[in-house]
Structure 1
Amino acid sequence: MTGEQVYVSHAPGDLELVQDLFSTVKNFPFGVHIALEEIESGRSRTRLEGRLANSDVVVAVLTEDAAENRWINQEIGYAVAKGIPVLPLHDEDRNRRGFIGDVEGVAIDRNNLTFTIFNLLCRLRSELAPLGALSVPNWYIRFPCTVPDCDQPVTLELEQGQTKLWKLHSHGKHLTTSCTVCGSRYYFNPATIGFVGREDGVTAQSSTRSRS
């Protein structure tokens, strides 16, 4: 599961919401292209066609702000015409209409973004790595150890299914992984795969004391 591309179509007024929803999704080893971020980085709307055409999934964020946005409607139509799956991420069912009116989406709960992100990850795992009903797509995130002078790559592998991850979250459990060099342990929210904290290992603690 590397190299896949996700394009996020949204209204300008929803940028902050979109960034909140995709903040942890961006940690996975696939590209996430948020339309307005692309524009702010210097890419014009018309030049976004390349991002859209090369996407494996288009996430359409459908809110009241998006209802009359011509770019979102065009991007959805383009994706449908090219056979690119469109995943509606919607406030209300009435915002899911037109080409994707019958496509099952993910409801946005602004009072519980954790649950929304969890459901979004469920659908993305299904769309990007459909390995069969009895298989669990092996997703992971990789990041450099944040202990000073370490920088060893650390990997959190997600071998659990989404149901198991939500159960862990419901029971207040964390996912953990450790740096193989300094022994520091990292904790993550099972529902969102968001970073929770770090517990320094013996090697990291010794290094800190030697510098003090």
Structure 2
Amino acid sequence: MVAYSPRLARLIESLRRLPGVGPKSAQRMALHLLDRDREGASFVARSIDEALEHVGRCPSCRMFCEGGNCLYCSPSRAESGQLCVVETPADLLAIESSTPYRGRYFVLMGKLSPIDGIGPEELGLSLLAQRMGGDRVSEVIIATNPTVEGEATAYYVAEMARAAGLKVTRIAHGVPMGGELEYVDGSTLAHAFSGRQTLGA
């Protein structure tokens, strides 16, 4: 078994918290930062500290923002009357970079999963209901991932939107079942978004 000094072990373990980073990758990153890029390591550490201190969630859409100035809740975005519901900030960014959509968003920060203790309150659905009840919303675009949990979440949100008398659409074409929006190529995502369909009652 490899033995590390206590602080090196802690650094490696902290890097393993990143998604997709296993023991070997974490070790390689830690050794690189300490051996070849200590200035870069300091920059990363400062950037993380500053982000933790200054980046919060928008009280309206729940996307990450600084100082209450959300880039995705500007008055110009309200003109379309569209509200796109996504699971994660990464999904929002994927839509922004690959489609012409420039309406408003609501970020669930997850999906319904009772087995994991994630219900409507954890997803901020009471806040979403408030957004649907006012704020010049005429159409709710559901862009949850096509997984079992994502479909259940889409159904729940669609029922909320219909109860509020709103048009409900769902992105459909081109996104594979079981896929994640974050990893779908841009042209496929753009096609899926432009080909969204109205959900049946």
User: TM-score category by the smaller chain?
Assistant: 0.3 to 0.5
TM-score, structure 1 as length reference: 0.35
Higher percent of residues as helix: 2
Indicate the structure (1 or 2) with the bigger Cα radius of gyration. 2
TM-score normalised to structure 2 length: 0.37
